[in-house]
Amino acid sequence: MFLDLFMRKTSMVCIDVGYRNIKVVEVSVKKNNNIFIENYGIVATPEDCIKNGAIYDVERVLRVIKTVIKEEGMKAKNAKIIMSGTNIITRIYMIDKAEGESEDFTIKNSMPNFLPVDIDNYRVDYKLLTTVRDKNQEKYKVFVTAVPRKILESYIEVLQGLDLKPLAVDIPANSTAKFFNRDIYTKDMDEYYSKRKHKNVQSDTYAVLDFGSETTIVNFLKDRVLEFNKVILSGSSNIDNHISNEMSITLQEAERIKKMYGMNPPNSLSKREHVIAYGKVNTFIERLVTQIVKCFEFYIERCYGSQISKIFIIGGGSQLNGLDQYLFSIFNVPVYPVGLLSLKGVELRKNLDREKLNYLINSVGISL
């Protein structure tokens, strides 16, 4: 957890402020650590309120969140919020171990030499992953998170304006790691991949690819611990823009066409919209996956990472038809689309709308 403000409570409102949508979830964490989703609401983010993750108009964002809480009848008295944006820095650094110094002293005093920012303007946290030996020199392998203080303060201001007890501000990478710290239902897909040839990698390291509307986030977890995180500045909304411009239609109609056809190839009888959608979707995904491949290579070659044994895909963009099979053809390891109900120990209030649950993974992740 990036910033613990108070001790964790068992019932809370969890908020994920995105560029396109704000997700608000009321969650209870039971004594057995199972998660019970009481209610949720998804609402469009007010225009021009969010830029690169920073909240520029706290009052308008607050009004929207308060409206959702009231309309959905949420009664929890505690709140957590997740922030995002390209200005959040997450890096792995290899820091030489110094004799006679504590690891905390060595790591903290090394930060100004590594981070490419004015460290006084950032809130910096780190996690020691392991100690390795490289050419007779022991090194700390450290996962570092740095958030601009101004951005952090804007999210704290939202929490404090909700008339709820603020518990924590977190980042998507931590939320994802917490979500995947639980067992995932994959039996059906395991049977599917057992009948297909692929690399049988014996490793407890896997990738989690979060396909959002504005960004794609690449995470690598080893033994369920986050070891790498990279934000790629391309998301599924870029596809909508390309289709909209090509066909001179609204973004809403372009999104509908994208979801209808996905990566499924057209044939001689296909409509024009199918042909255009396929071209735009596949061109975008191919370029995006080229960047994802570079993340895989960097993690293994530069971060002392292990070979990836499987890939999980989450986020609204992960529901693109044919995406999982395309990724399988590129990486040759099993690819699992994961929704909220794939997580063991998640329960829902009866009659709760399940249609948009897959958009809530990060919101629920910060409850843990």
Judge whether residue 5 has pLDDT over 50: no
Distance (Å, whole) CA 139 – CA 318:
37
Name residue 207's beta-bridge partners: 220, 311
Domains 3-85+150-180+344-365 and 185-337 share a fold: yes
Supply the pLDDT for residue 8.
43
The two structure tokens encoding residue 77: 């008295």
Q: Collect all residues with Cβ–Cβ distance below 8 Å to 120 and sequence separation of at least 6.
A: none
Q: Where are the domains of the chain?
A: 3-85+150-180+344-365, 89-148, 185-337
Judge whether residue 285 has pLDDT over 50: yes
- For the ranges 190-204, 222-236, 241-255, the lowest mean pLDDT is seen at 190-204
- Neighbouring CB atoms inside 10 A of 290's CB total 10
**Residue linked to tokens 């995470």:** 219
Distance (Å, whole) CA 170 – CA 335:
27
Do residues 361 and 173 make contact, with C-beta atoms less than 8 angstroms apart? no
Do residues 12 and 367 make contact, with C-beta atoms less than 8 angstroms apart? yes
**Strand pairing class (346-348; 35-44):** parallel
Average of pLDDT values for 109-124? 88
Supply the pLDDT for residue 7.
40
Q: Give the dihedral sign, CA 69/72/75/76.
A: negative
Supply the pLDDT for residue 1.
46
Supply the pLDDT for residue 6.
42
Confidence of residue 76 (pLDDT cuts 50, 70, 90): very high
CATH, domain 89-148, list 1.10.3680, 3.30.1490, 1.10.10, 3.40.630: 3.30.1490
Judge whether residue 214 has pLDDT over 80: yes
Average of pLDDT values for 342-363? 84
CATH class of 185-337: alpha beta
Average of pLDDT values for 22-46? 90
Mean pLDDT computed over every residue of the chain: 88
Supply the pLDDT for residue 347.
86
Helices marked H in the chain: 58-71, 103-114, 149-160, 172-179, 187-194, 237-247, 251-261, 272-302, 323-331, 361-365
Supply the pLDDT for residue 9.
42
Supply the pLDDT for residue 182.
79
Judge whether residue 366 has pLDDT over 90: no
Give the CATH number of domain 3-85+150-180+344-365.
Answer: 3.30.420.40
Q: What is the pLDDT of residues 293-313, one digit of tens each?
A: 999 999 998 888 889 999 999
Judge whether residue 151 has pLDDT over 50: yes
- Neighbouring CB atoms inside 10 A of 262's CB total 19
Average of pLDDT values for 331-341? 89
Judge whether residue 225 has pLDDT over 60: yes
pLDDT-above-70 percentage for the chain: 97
Supply the pLDDT for residue 305.
85
In this prediction the pTM is 0.86
Confidence of residue 211 (pLDDT cuts 50, 70, 90): very high
How many angstroms separate the Cα of 140 from the Cα of each of 65, 103, 312? 41, 8, 28
Q: Give the dihedral sign, CA 213/215/216/222.
A: negative
